[in-house]
Amino acid sequence: MARSVFPMVVLTRVVRGARALGACGRAAAPRRVWAHDLPPIRGGRQDALLECSTEETPEALVIHPTGELDHETVPILRVPLTAGVESGRHVVIDMAGVLHIDSLGIHELLVHRRLCRARGRCLVLVAPRGPVQRVINIVDLGKVIPVFPSMDLALGAIRAGTPC
């Protein structure tokens, strides 16, 4: 495994207001720990994959991602997003199964929204939940990409020509 170029500095824990003591009875100094030496978070990456399924409706290509949308999984979503844009159809992303989204995931949505708009089509999000909805609210993504609470409302808005 390749060693990270950027070590993380981990300080020894503080015990009742004083620094923890090292083996010699002196205050323990900070030590360097490489990121790959730390235990995996959330059980490792095997449970953080993203799966995407698609369905075609008369109005749009609907993408159903399930899992975490982050720097490691964005390429998985990019494939159906690109196919939807190149098909010249509206693109609807059902966010109900997305558990987490990071800045690269937001960036990917914005890039494909721009590509859809250049072709006179819309990219819309449907039913984001919990932490994903919170991120969308914090970055005001709803001002740029329409967000709908249900698939019926999203497809109805596309039929009416009003979402973009």
pLDDT tens-digit series, residues 108-161: 999 999 999 999 999 999 999 999 999 999 999 999 999 999 999 999 999 998
Q: What is the arithmetic mean of pLDDT over 1-15?
A: 40
pLDDT of 164: 74
CB atoms within 10 A of CB 157: 19
pLDDT of 8: 39
Looking at the chain, the whole-number percentage of residues with pLDDT higher than 70 is 71
Residues contacting residue 49 through CB under 8 Å, at least 6 positions apart: 67, 68, 73, 76
Answer whether CATH 2.60.40.10 is correct for domain 48-160: no
pLDDT of 49: 87
Kind and range of the H or E run holding 91: strand 90-94
CB atoms within 10 A of CB 117: 12
How do beta strands 31-33 and 8-10 pair? antiparallel
pLDDT at 105 over 90: yes
Q: Which two tokens stand for residue 30?
A: 């900070």
pLDDT of 163: 74
Q: Is the distance from CB of 146 to CB of 124 less than 8 angstroms?
A: yes
Domain ranges for the chain? 8-39, 48-160
pLDDT at 69 over 50: yes
Q: What is the arithmetic mean of pLDDT over 29-39?
A: 46
pLDDT of 155: 95
Query: pTM score, two decimals?
Result: 0.70
Confidence of residue 74 (pLDDT cuts 50, 70, 90): very high
Interatomic CA distance for residues 68 and 90, integer angstroms: 23
